[in-house]
Amino acid sequence: MNTRVREVKGRELKDENQEMSGSSMLIQALARENVDTIFGYPGGAILPTYDEIYRTGIRHILSRHEQGAIHAAEGYARVSGKPGVCVVTSGPGATNVVTGIADAMIDSLPLVVVTGQVATSVIGTDAFQEADILGITMPITKHNFQARTVEDLPRIIREAFHIATTGRPGPVVIDLPKDVSIASGMFHYDDEPNLPGYQPTYTPNKLQIRKLAEAVTKAKRPVILSGAGILHAGASPELLEFVEQQQIPVASTLLGLGGFPGSHELALGMAGMHGTYAANMALHEADLLINIGARFDDRVTGNLEHFAPQATVAHIDVDPAEIGKIIETQIPVVGDAKEALRLLNEVNPKPGESVRWRMKVDEWQQEFPLWYKEGSEYIKPQKLTELVYEKTNGEAIITTDVGQHQMWAAQYYKFDHPNAWVTSGGLGTMGFGFPAAIGAQFAEPDRQVVAILGDAGFQMTMQELSILQELNLPVKVLLVNNASLGMVRQWQQLFYEERYSNSLFPIQPDFVKMAEAYDIKGYKITDENEVAGVLEEAFNYNGPVLIDCRVHEEENVYPMIAPGQGHHQMEGVKP
């Protein structure tokens, strides 16, 4: 898949210190940043850059809507750990990627987004396709730039990649006016950006590490809350070593799944609103809570008044602003999770006396496992997810949107490896999962990528079926089709006396016919007995497949912490 790109890039890598256009600088800089894939969509103000893309042959994936391009870049970044690059035009092109930028910001994904802009001479005059994208994206980017002169451009690109990928990762926007991309200037590309106001802390304070080690030894009821920071830092091996040494149970956030092996005996699964009883009770009863790379999101904590009431809180985070933001923290550790865990493992504190705690946690796991009722005439979505897990040997990359299907995937697909779980957590973006799967497939061309989607979210970005058709990309799209906005419907049932306002879809397209219109293999399943067979067929087929799986429409996600409740007040913990 990559050969063509490498050849072309090799041929086109120009020497530094020579005159070139701004758009040429951009492509040269991308090559130096080892960017092998750009996701984007052309338009007026970005035409000079697209001309350069044409001439150099750098791989560009043409989405059918800019939102598809940015979510694909997010999926690529989440799986590869490299920055996702997205190029769009000014005005509507740029505003169409705003949702994806906000999504990447709240989920800490490294993106470099290049937006075309009208020429500097007309900025501020309400010119054709002008939008103040710098102003619009200021609150939803880690940083943003506007290149006002071509001389500034190489420095800006270098700084953008540096900022996006270091510290707590995040999206960076480069606004590129058309005249700047046409103008020519001298191209220098420095390795070390000079950013005195941006110096992320990687090495934690030794004193705090020692304090944490002492707390571990003293603790009788310790628990770890493992967040996406583990994945960003690549700290899974260090976490596993620490946990096995200390025998501390691990609850995971939604985004942290896979940071610690899901089938490990010390893995409690996901914590929070639809987390496992054992994970939530462990957080509630703990006397030491070690948060590693999570940000105490409200969907994880539930009512803060009832959150971990007895615990000493330790928080390891590369972003100091996250520490103490939501929960008062006694042991703050600012630094990279990998480095912090390495230092902790070096200290190797004597494990606390927590045998009884372990027994209690085991008891919760045995007594209150995830459950659903089998044997109805409809396909159970939980069963469907379990079968996906089984048929992919737990080794697939799974992407989702937001809602019920997402929760079932998080509950029933036990991620044993990092970076195989691509979901929209903080922003909860419908329409994310399908294009993200496309990006994930480009990051890992040889792995099975399954987009588990709701029927509603899929309809927000399904125009990207064109990419599957065009490139014969072997993404498997699995619609958990309950003919409704499942999670909205669930809340209306539980909290709005079953007034299903605008959440049911009595009419739907024929998804199989639609797949076929795109030359994609389509299946519709209504019988649970057919699921395993169809999945197997689909996963063995080297090409795109869409499976419309009609699941029980009134199935709800349980267990659940209702809004305003604490971890100890879970509902639906037993059949």
Binding site for other proteins (CB under 8 A): 134-135, 138-139, 142-143, 163, 195-198, 319-321, 324-325, 328
Set 142, 178, 391, 524: catalytic member: 178
- Residue 162 or residue 524: which is nearer to other proteins going by CB? 162
CB of 423 to other proteins, least distance (A): 25
> What DSSP letter does each residue of 55-81 carry, written as one string?
HH---EEE-SSHHHHHHHHHHHHHHHS
Distance CA 269, CA 277 (A): 9
- Which residues fall within 8 angstroms of residue 494, CB to CB, at 6 or more apart? 556, 562
Set 33, 66, 74, 386: catalytic member: 66
CB of 204 to other proteins, least distance (A): 16
Q: Are 55 and 456 in contact (CB under 8 A)?
A: no
- Residue 201 or residue 463: which is nearer to other proteins going by CB? 201
User: Encoding tokens for residue 444?
Assistant: 């890992």
- Residue 33 or residue 322: which is nearer to other proteins going by CB? 322
CB of 317 to other proteins, least distance (A): 11
Distance CA 382, CA 404 (A): 10
What are the CA-CA distances from residue 537 to residues 12, 274, 381, 530, 544 (Å)?
42, 31, 19, 11, 12
Asked about 178 being catalytic, the answer comes back as yes
- Residue 57 or residue 324: which is nearer to other proteins going by CB? 324
Q: How many helices (H) and strands (E) does the chain have?
A: 24, 20
SS3 184: strand
CB of 135 to other proteins, least distance (A): 7
Distance CA 464, CA 44 (A): 22
DSSP annotation of 27 reads H
Query: Which strands sit side by side in the sheet containing 222-226, from one edge to the other?
Result: 267-270, 250-252, 222-226, 288-292, 312-317, 331-334
CB of 94 to other proteins, least distance (A): 16
Smallest CA-to-CA distance from 397 within 364, 444, 358 is with 444
Set 7, 19, 128, 186: catalytic member: 128
CB of 549 to other proteins, least distance (A): 40
- Residue 90 or residue 459: which is nearer to other proteins going by CB? 90
Set 105, 460, 487, 560: catalytic member: 487
User: Judging by beta carbons within 10 Å of its beta carbon (0-12, 13-18, 19+), is residue 514 exposed, middle or buried?
Assistant: middle
What is the amino acid identity at position 454?
G
- Residue 173 or residue 409: which is nearer to other proteins going by CB? 173
Set 12, 129, 360, 569: catalytic member: 129
- Residue 135 or residue 506: which is nearer to other proteins going by CB? 135
CB of 293 to other proteins, least distance (A): 17
Asked about 434 being catalytic, the answer comes back as no
Give the active site residues. 66, 128-129, 178, 487
